[in-house]
Amino acid sequence: MGRRANAAGRTMPVGHAPGPGRYPGSPRGRGTNRVARTYNVVTYGCQMNVHDSERISGLLEQAGYERAPAGDDTPDIVVFNTCAVRENADNRLYGNLGRLRPVKDKHPGMQIAVGGCLAQKDRGDIVRKAPWVDVVFGTHNIGALPVLLERARHNAAAEVEILESLDVFPSTLPTRRESTYAGWVSISVGCNNTCTFCIVPALRGKEKDRRPGDILSEVRALVDEGVLEVTLLGQNVNSYGVEFGDRYAFGKLLRACGDIDGLERVRFTSPHPKDFTDDVIAAMAETPNVCHSLHMPLQSGSDDVLRAMRRSYRSERYLGIIEKVRAAMPDAAITTDIIVGFPGETEADFQRTLDVVREARFSSAFTFQYSKRPGTPAATMDDQLPKQVVQERYERLVACVEEITWAENKRLVGETVEVLVAVGEGRKDERTGRMSGRARDGRLVHFATETADGESLAGQIRPGDIVNTTITYAAPHHLNADGAPVAHRRTRAGDAAEAGRSPRTPGVLLGLPTIGAPPVVAAPAAGCATH
């Protein structure tokens, strides 16, 4: 595989050139009545990736593409935005690429792009393993995607561009928001921690913080579009401010969000216990629109395992934070992440994790079996545990967590909660006649849509509206409210959902082409075009 320099002088591997006629142009582009090319984005991974996919959609639409209709299996462009945290992410990507190959063979002009963390990690290996991929781009150059797609089309060769550091903060890019009522807002990207199991710092880079004014401007822009809830995003939100030397910057940011008229809910994810300070707890408790929900990754309850993970806190410190949060906000719902089977974990270590889970009384937990990731220190550690040991501990952990979350949820039976009505949260809603949404503490609530007189409110309650309803039943992972809603408030977000409008936040686009209905461009006779 060769290498050539792009316009900025960076080098990148060039994939195998396709056979003749690979890019003859989509049938949608032939003739005089051309229409815009269509796209679909497939997302794996965390909230960061979900938000990055909104930016990818915004970029493509500003460049003239249109989202493919639901059920269209042959869009002109398919973009995979990948995760590299767990091994099954690799398997899912390459499996889906394999299934897409015959589809592409039957639809000349179709393009496939792979971006995100796995692309940053695997780089040119992606086009070596799947030579029918057209574009590979990394976590630092999302904004280059439209240019890379056009270059691949023009040169009839795969384009692979991976930058080693961030050129432009991604929030300057145009964004097609997926929700009318809730929006992600990045406050930082990258991470300065060195957890031995985590590959994210190697793929996302060192922490880069946005200025508070830029963040608040984006939040206000979303609220102006009708959004009621924002989630502040960062690999480690409570280290926010490290770049400009203000260790209290995150607490100040939460309080500033409280001054924005029309913003009803503020959430954030994820903090790190080592950086969690009392001023953030005070800001959460004293700012009315900051939700009393906290996602605080534990990873392990064993101090020995935490030390091996290079997590610079211990279980006593962790439980002390939980105690302070509950003292300030007795109604706080606390969720967490836990890894089972880290190299060298003993049965005693695992039992300590169970002890901390029982003491912390989490409302929910994301539980994971340790996944060896090449490039991380943990991958080369001794005492990698047998799969059957990890599986057995994992099953015991899940049973323990569910026992606690069920008990915590049962405490809410009889309570009236405020629910922000959502889309896609209740998979059985159509069959059960319910709708679903999230309470202020983040719990999932399925609620009835009939009044006491049997009148259906399903046509009146829209995604983005607010419903107050009384909990009648609790399960480990959700709550049901089977009585008539106590109150229903129509909102601007609900109006937008009813009208089919998605919020779009503009960004700075420098040097990206307007694509629209592209002309059919013949491939060069030989070699690569000069850029």
Write a three-state SS string for 71-119. Answer: CCCCCCEEEEEECCCCHHHHHHHHHHHHHHHHHHHHCCCCEEEEEEHHH
Integer angstrom CA distances of residue 98 from 72, 105, 148, 486: 18, 12, 22, 51
Tell me which DSSP letter residue 301 carries: S
Phi, psi (rounded to 5 degrees) for 293 = -135, 140
For residue 291, say whether it is annotated as part of any ligand binding site: no
Q: Which helix (H) or strand (E) holds 406?
A: helix 387-410
Q: Helices (DSSP H) in 227-360: which residue ranges? A: 249-257, 278-286, 303-309, 315-328, 347-360
CA–CA gap between residue 231 and residue 375 (Å, rounded): 31
Which among 183, 227, 152, 189 has a CA at the least distance from the CA of 48?
189
* Residue at 10: amino acid letter: R
For residue 191, say whether it is annotated as part of any ligand binding site: yes
CA–CA gap between residue 229 and residue 262 (Å, rounded): 9
Phi, psi (rounded to 5 degrees) for 184 = -90, 140
For residue 198, say whether it is annotated as part of any ligand binding site: yes
Tell me which DSSP letter residue 19 carries: P
In angstroms, how far apart are the furthest CA atoms of the chain? 75
- Give the pair of three-digit tokens for residue 101: 């190959």
Q: Which helix (H) or strand (E) holds 266?
A: strand 265-269
Query: Could you tell me if 280 and 238 are in contact, meaning their C-beta atoms sit under 8 angstroms apart?
Result: yes
Which among 508, 433, 412, 419 has a CA at the least distance from the CA of 464?
419
Query: Could you tell me if 481 and 472 are in contact, meaning their C-beta atoms sit under 8 angstroms apart?
Result: yes
For residue 195, say whether it is annotated as part of any ligand binding site: yes
Query: Could you tell me if 136 and 114 are in contact, meaning their C-beta atoms sit under 8 angstroms apart?
Result: yes
Query: Could you tell me if 112 and 97 are in contact, meaning their C-beta atoms sit under 8 angstroms apart?
Result: yes
Is beta strand 466-470 parallel, antiparallel or unpaired with respect to 487-489? antiparallel
N- to C-terminal Cα separation, the chain: 19
Write a three-state SS string for 243-255. Answer: CCCCCCHHHHHHH
**Which segments are annotated as binding site?**
46, 83, 117, 191, 195, 198
State the binding site for [4Fe-4S] cluster.
46, 83, 117, 191, 195, 198
